[in-house]
Structure 1
Amino acid sequence: MAETNWAGNHTYRARIERVRSVEHLQEVVAAAPRVRALGSRHSFTDITDTDGGVLVSLADLPPAVEVDPASRTARVAGWTTYGLVGTQLQAEGWALANLASLPHISVAGALATGTHGSGVANGSLATAVAALEIVGANGELRTVRRGDPDFHASVVSLGALGVVTSVTLDIEPAYDVRQAVYTGLRWDTVGGDLDALLSSAYSVSLFTRWGDEVEQVWLKSRADAVPGHLFGAPPAATTMHMLEGGDPEAVTPQLGVAGPWLDRLPHFRMGFTPSRGVELQSEYLFPRSHVGEAVDRLRRLRELLAPVLQASELRTVAADEHWLSSAYGQDVVGVHFTWVRDAQRVYAVLPVLEDALLPLGARPHWGKCFVAEAGRLEPLYPRMADFRALRDRVDPDRVFDNAFLRRVIG
């Protein structure tokens, strides 16, 4: 039976090898002409696929989480999901500073694609990485640590530099979070205070379909912050799903009730299908200084987007130093699109959307649907040429190459 990604819109072309150990992985990589690693399969493109080689799955290996209280770090298996990591950390009294909207995603895959949560002071998930262990092109296992010359190229790497087997993450003492949702906030009420709205809590998400209002605002606050009114809008009285008709049971607890960080920072609960499940996704991240212009441009595209759009989400991410990160060198706002699962219609819209956003400096999320190729992307990433040079050094035979990398990196 053919294997697909989570969304079901991409069927993998290569044979899948389920490795039994890191040593087995090293043997497979050393012997294969082309290799790519499968994680939670949540990417919406062919980024994890390969041609003429083998796909390696590490899903049968134990999901190790080893806490070191002295260094305030945890060494975790790269294929472990953030949900499992969070559960183990919480049990030992520890936490991560932030999480993405889904706890279902694997650590290594989320890092490789520049995945993030939200918050003006919160960096992407890559900023929590202290070290990586990577199986390279000839099967050798190498460690790259924060401070090493190759570190900031190796975390958000699109899988081009090897297979990540373990990640050391910064941790902090466990904490509680309150989540409250506000509804019906009109764009004209926010006015020129959009940046203030995006800065109004530890983590902020605005959900809209680009009409006259922001249908929902999700605020996630450390437990000592109590939600009040937001630009005149009161908190919702019942639990809300951001997608029309979505099951409220699938989302994390709201209504301002404090609870553990891992049960509030994501949007979705680990035991449920995240989002709607039948969908495609895109995301573009642009400098925060352009948020007003970006919103104006997107609202003008509302009629084009409406037939294929389920909802959009606006979130902030703090600047970082990772070469291929969408937040490299600048604080950004991400605009996320949950589409209907109709690739032909969605990909017909993307060129117009990118013509509106890329001139504002928008960078696409590497794991989601976009059409821009290397010629348009390179000016957006100042270290792209340096990344190619590093890839040539650590993988001269392009063992980890694939069609996706040829399109977007060259």
Structure 2
Amino acid sequence: MRTNWAGNHAYRAARLHRPTTLDELRAVVAAAPSLRALGSRHAFTAIADAGEQVVLDGLPADVMLDGDTVSFNAGLTYGELAEHLEGRAALHNLASLPHISVAGAIGTGTHGSGTGNLATAVRALELVTSDGEVVTARRGDPDFDGMVVHLGRLGVLTRLTLDTEPPFAVAQRVFEGLSWEALSEHFDALFSAAYSVSVFTRWKDVDMVWLKGRDALPETLYDATPATVERHPIIELDPVNCTAQLGRPGPWWDRLPHFRMGFTPSHGAEVQAEYLIPREHAVAAIQALRALTLPHLLVSEIRTIAADALWMSPAYGRDSVGLHFTLERVPVDGVLRAIEAALAPFDPRPHPGKLHLKPGTYERADDFETLAARLDPRGAFVAQA
């Protein structure tokens, strides 16, 4: 039985395909009555489930740098891609874990912190539609903004071209003991204090603020104090597998994530939920969440994400704040109901690959469904679970 990363979902797919050529993949896609692509399985919902599944790790990596772009097999993980880019190019941002597949992160609008979500780096894409045809699109093409965050609904994403920039160094510093008063009063300045800013909390106190800087990091942060030892986002845990802190600079790929590439993330111990709300409501939403009692919560993370134009991105059309919840792997519907009720006045959009009860509202949702009907007229990629 195949399960997702957390073990909270068992895939019902009766068959897993691992093609080794594009032609084999096209034949698989054209023949399957119900199909989804399976990446690194770091989704906590049934978004990757269908009657059959296909993985892309049998296809060549085929990484090609060309000027300020890199193209590659979309099934690569960010860690694998970074190995190919080492010393030659960099990406603008990474998620907390480098172990996730690029296609999966792009297809669900996954983000880092501060800049636009990871999907905003997509310059061009290639996917195989349900009739086995190869469709390509480039930034600026009609419907391109609807194809990037594809939710697994449009076809199998086979190849991506991403924007790159010259390699850069990042240093990371952790501050502890920030007051809620300081966070509320200085919210915008706080989240502009570094290239990437993450606040970790269990909602009683602010446990930590992680700053990742491409330039000099601040020595002070309001009423917080600099940590004198390295920290894990869950403060009681050993930080041995976290990326280096204490202001020591390192390459972009080894500082932008919270966790190092050279270890396997723990499986089965947690599930995750996340909601993006308009940035202007951040302080009010935080106050609403602080009023809750949230059993099974391991830690929450607060981050900011720039607005984008990708139709089904949770940050579509609005600068956003991501409110993330890492929970024990137990039934958590009651916790989700409480969180969603508290956030309801702020128009939350849940991360589609993480646990949630209610979908978000998207202005271009009807346009996306029209696009999906055109690219998948036989409904092979319609969600079945």
Instruction: Give the TM-score normalised by the residue count of structure 2.
Output: 0.97
Q: 2:353 aligns with which of 353, 367, 386?
A: 367
Shift of residue 327 of structure 1?
Answer: 0.6
Q: Check whether the contact 1:268–1:275 (CA below 8 A) recurs between aligned residues.
A: no
Q: 1:276 to 1:297 in 2, by over 3 A?
A: farther
For residues 278 and 248 of structure 2, the distance between their equivalents in structure 1, rounded to whole angstroms, comes to 33
Name the counterpart of 2:9.
Answer: 10
- Within the alignment, does 1:350 sit opposite 2:336 as a pair? yes
Instruction: Map Cα deviations across residues 120-164 of structure 1 (whole Å, 9 max, x no partner).
Output: xx1000110000010001001110110111100111010100001
Name the counterpart of 1:127.
Answer: 120
Shift of residue 334 of structure 1?
Answer: 0.1
For residues 43 and 19 of structure 1, the distance between their equivalents in structure 2, rounded to whole angstroms, comes to 22
For residues 34 and 100 of structure 2, the distance between their equivalents in structure 1, rounded to whole angstroms, comes to 24
The 5-angstrom pairing of residues 6-405 of structure 1 reads: 6-14=5-13, 15-50=15-50, 53-69=51-67, 72-91=68-87, 93-119=88-114, 122-211=115-204, 213-222=205-214, 224-274=215-265, 278-301=269-292, 303=293, 305=294, 307-342=295-330, 344=331, 346-373=332-359, 377=360, 380-403=361-384
Q: Check whether the contact 1:243–1:276 (CA below 8 A) recurs between aligned residues.
A: no
Q: Check whether the contact 1:228–1:234 (CA below 8 A) recurs between aligned residues.
A: no
For residues 210 and 373 of structure 2, the distance between their equivalents in structure 1, rounded to whole angstroms, comes to 43
Shift of residue 86 of structure 1?
Answer: 1.4
For residues 157 and 190 of structure 1, the distance between their equivalents in structure 2, rounded to whole angstroms, comes to 35
Question: Secondary structure of 2:343's partner?
Answer: helix
Q: 1:242 to 1:60 in 2, by over 3 A?
A: same
Q: Check whether the contact 1:286–1:332 (CA below 8 A) recurs between aligned residues.
A: yes
Percent identity, aligned pairs only?
54
- Aligned pairs, number: 384
Instruction: Map Cα deviations across residues 274-309 of structure 1 (whole Å, 9 max, x no partner).
Output: 3775100000000110001100100001x2x1x210
Instruction: Map Cα deviations across residues 79-132 of structure 1 (whole Å, 9 max, x no partner).
Output: 0001111121123x210011111100101110001100001xx10001100000
Structure 1 unaligned blocks of 5 or more: 405-410
Instruction: Map Cα deviations across residues 7-34 of structure 1 (whole Å, 9 max, x no partner).
Output: 0111111121121222111000111111
Shift of residue 356 of structure 1?
Answer: 1.5
RMSD across aligned C-alpha pairs, in angstroms?
A: 1.3
Q: Check whether the contact 2:220–2:226 (CA below 8 A) recurs between aligned residues.
A: yes
Q: Check whether the contact 1:246–1:276 (CA below 8 A) recurs between aligned residues.
A: no
For residues 199 and 252 of structure 2, the distance between their equivalents in structure 1, rounded to whole angstroms, comes to 20
Question: Secondary structure of 2:177's partner?
Answer: strand
Residue 318 of structure 1 aligns with an amino acid whose one-letter code is A
For residues 21 and 3 of structure 2, the distance between their equivalents in structure 1, rounded to whole angstroms, comes to 24
Instruction: Map Cα deviations across residues 47-105 of structure 1 (whole Å, 9 max, x no partner).
Output: 0001xx31111122232321112xx00001100001111121123x2100111111001
Question: Secondary structure of 1:265's partner?
Answer: coil
Q: Which moved more, 1:232-241 or 1:163-172?
A: 232-241
For residues 190 and 333 of structure 1, the distance between their equivalents in structure 2, rounded to whole angstroms, comes to 14
Q: Check whether the contact 1:64–1:80 (CA below 8 A) recurs between aligned residues.
A: no
For residues 5 and 198 of structure 1, the distance between their equivalents in structure 2, rounded to whole angstroms, comes to 33
Q: 1:206 to 1:28 in 2, by over 3 A?
A: same
Name the counterpart of 1:408.
Answer: none
Shift of residue 273 of structure 1?
Answer: 3.2
Structure 2 unaligned blocks of 5 or more: none
Q: Check whether the contact 1:250–1:273 (CA below 8 A) recurs between aligned residues.
A: no
Name the counterpart of 1:407.
Answer: none
For residues 141 and 66 of structure 1, the distance between their equivalents in structure 2, rounded to whole angstroms, comes to 19
For residues 18 and 237 of structure 2, the distance between their equivalents in structure 1, rounded to whole angstroms, comes to 34
For residues 78 and 251 of structure 1, the distance between their equivalents in structure 2, rounded to whole angstroms, comes to 26
Runs (4+) off by over 2 Å? 60-64, 188-191, 244-247, 273-277
